[in-house]
Amino acid sequence: MTESTRRTGGHEYEHPQGHPAQPYAAPYAADVHPEWPPPPAHAPAVGAGRRKRPGGPVTLLAAVALVAAAVGGGTAYAFQQLTGHGSTATDTATPVVAAGKKGDVANIAAALTPSVVEVNATLAGGSSTGSGVIVSSEGEIVTNNHVVSGASSVKVRTSDGTSRTARVVGTDSSKDLALLKIDGASGLKAAPLGTSSGVQVGDTVVAIGSPEGLTSTVTSGIVSALDRDVTVSTDEGRGSQGQDGDEQWPFQFGGREFNGDTGSSTTTYKAIQTDASLNPGNSGGALIDASGRVIGINSAMYSSGSQASSSTDAGSIGLGFAIPVDTLKADLAKLRAGSTS
């Protein structure tokens, strides 16, 4: 909206019929002449001695209408940003945690735990357990491609303990992302997807997932580094977590391999590094900022355990990586369209 131009001594108005704007001057001050009789003592009749402002009421109403339109448009835009694709929380600047509670892990956990699920995939040679993030109330769930790669069936378990069957809608092995769908679902709580472009080293983060099948596990930490080159396998079934729970998802970082051999078919992406505790089963879960918005999808973590070591030796050492949420948002339309690259 363009502001009206104000000039010393009066205002200019545009006539509603399109006539040139005429200056309006205060009554009597500029029109008094020595030979004219003085104005009557009583108040002049309406329209007598006072120039009517051309289009004044219309201009005022138009201004009010424009203001209302701007407010209404802003409200609609904010709602679209909040809901995104239908009832999908794909992008929102509205924190889900009150400003006074920013960074409070308990409040973040309470707000986001219902939006994170456990994912159980049945594979030809065993099973795979991971996590997923609900991105629409109709049952769309984002997880890692390596969690469901080669799966013959997939089940998800929500934070309230309900188990449901899901199908794989689309996959992108180059970004290690997959989209699942619970058919017939409604009323699920979608996670608010923030942006990863403003994330800084040292920011507080919270991770929610199902490590070792322990649904709705919450850990916290900070962003340790940004734009880490993480290389993962794109081979179906390679390194998927088996029924014994010992096998880890292999990845490369800094010229070294972790958790096994990635094989010859790999892909590399830029990742957010965090020291929030991540363990097998956290893959596909949410990395959340201090305001309660998802900024990443947890995808790779180093574990000191191996098939030859005892379970007491296994565990997170504070070296975890997440796919930036901006990468996910750029890929979401492709996944919804059923791409299986």
Catalytic residue positions, numbered: 146, 176, 283
The SS3 of residue 333 is helix
Tokens of 227: 């734009």
Comparing CA positions, the residue from 96, 91, 99 lying closest to residue 197 is: 91
The SS3 of residue 204 is strand
d(CA 154, CA 127): 10
- CB count, 10 Å around CB of 204? 18
d(CA 121, CA 145): 11
C-alpha distances out from residue 258 to 130, 214, 243, 271, Å: 18, 23, 20, 16
d(CA 104, CA 143): 25
- Within 8 A by CB and 6+ apart from 115, the residues are 133, 134, 188, 189, 190, 191, 286
d(CA 252, CA 233): 9
d(CA 198, CA 302): 26
Return the sign of the alpha-carbon dihedral for residues 97, 155, 212, 297.
negative
321 - beta bridge partners?
273, 300
Comparing CA positions, the residue from 48, 52, 190 lying closest to residue 117 is: 190
- Within 8 A by CB and 6+ apart from 72, the residues are none
The SS3 of residue 261 is coil
Q: Do 169 and 325 contact (CB within 8 A), yes or no?
A: no
